[in-house]
Amino acid sequence: MEKKFSLMISMRLPISFLICLTVIIIQGCTIFRTPQLRDGESAAQCLKRIAETNDLLVSCKGIAKISTQGFEFQLNERIAFISQKSHQLRAEMLSPFGVIGSPFQVICNKNLIYLNSRFLDKPFYTRPDAFLLKHALPIQIQPKELIAFLHGQLPIMPEMHAIFDHQSDQKILLLSKGLIKKTRYKVTFDLSATHVRSFEKYNHFNKLMYRLTFDRYQTYQTFSIPSILTIANADNQCVTLDIQSYFPNCAIKKNPFQIEDLRQAEKGGFPCVTSWIFNPIQTLLNLF
């Protein structure tokens, strides 16, 4: 019996050794495999390059035309905006005479986002990272992401996992972050492989949260800025910003991002919660 047991052990040891050796060889080939290149750069190098684009641009201001398509309401107005990365933004609608009016106003800082519009019964405020806010908006874009786009940047980090889509003839970079709740991004370059043409964000259910298209790049000082930004959701409802004037690294003397009076405003959590209670099916559809 002892001899039979010893024989079984002696037979299993070489098999186990071979399995371990095979795994080590496969992993070693994966680790030391030469990264595939597109236009002379690896996926990691490409990610680092676009993540550092306009890194020295810390503030900007300008005038843009804002328009909507696919919504129940139509918007076709001019706005003045000023922003400071990575959490501060103020945008107000201009009158036909170029004077700031008050039918539309957005103020965002690190703690709050405030919205006043003729489409709302009362001004609205909540936290800029509020879960309810993100899923109540027709286009699920966070304020800090919009600020990054105004600065000609992408809301990505160099430590994300990056690979090229080699099934496409066009240069496409696929990014992901997170383990359990994984968020995916798709960065598509133009035909010259120089500028980003579009940026897509997908949630952990692989549903498109938004697609942003960049057009007509212009150079302001040393910064390359897209003059037309179109943000769309999965239903092809979209908002377009056509930047007409742009001033990078502008001096900000006062604090335009301070929200002075919230007494007439309504805290955003309650109407959002109400929509969850009375429209649970639509809310779940928005999530998935």
pLDDT in tens, the chain (288 residues): 555 545 444 555 455 555 554 554 554 444 444 557 777 899 999 999 999 999 999 999 999 999 999 988 788 889 999 999 889 999 999 877 655 555 678 999 988 988 887 767 778 888 887 765 666 678 889 889 999 999 999 999 999 999 999 898 899 999 999 877 789 999 999 998 889 999 999 998 999 999 999 999 999 999 999 999 999 999 999 999 999 999 999 998 888 998 877 766 777 654 443 443 344 444 444 444
Cα–Cα distance list, 121 to 50, 76, 115, 264 (Å): 41, 20, 11, 11
In the chain, which ranges are E strands?
59-69, 76-84, 88-94, 100-108, 113-117, 124-126, 161-164, 172-177, 183-189, 196-202, 208-220, 223-232, 238-248, 266-267
Q: Are 173 and 164 contacting, i.e. CB atoms less than 8 angstroms apart?
A: yes
Based on the structure, what is the number of domains in the chain?
Answer: 1
We report the CATH number of the domain holding residue 152 as: 2.50.20.10
Closest CA to 153 of 79, 83, 91: 83
Pairing state between β 76-84 and 88-94: antiparallel
Has residue 189 been placed in a domain? yes
Has residue 162 been placed in a domain? yes
Q: State pTM to two decimals.
A: 0.78
Has residue 31 been placed in a domain? no
Has residue 267 been placed in a domain? yes
Has residue 99 been placed in a domain? yes
Has residue 119 been placed in a domain? yes
Q: Are 59 and 169 contacting, i.e. CB atoms less than 8 angstroms apart?
A: no
Structure tokens at 13: 């040891």
Pairing state between β 124-126 and 266-267: parallel
Quickly count: other Cβ atoms within 10 Å of residue 222's Cβ.
Answer: 9
Domain with 183 in it: 46-272+279-287
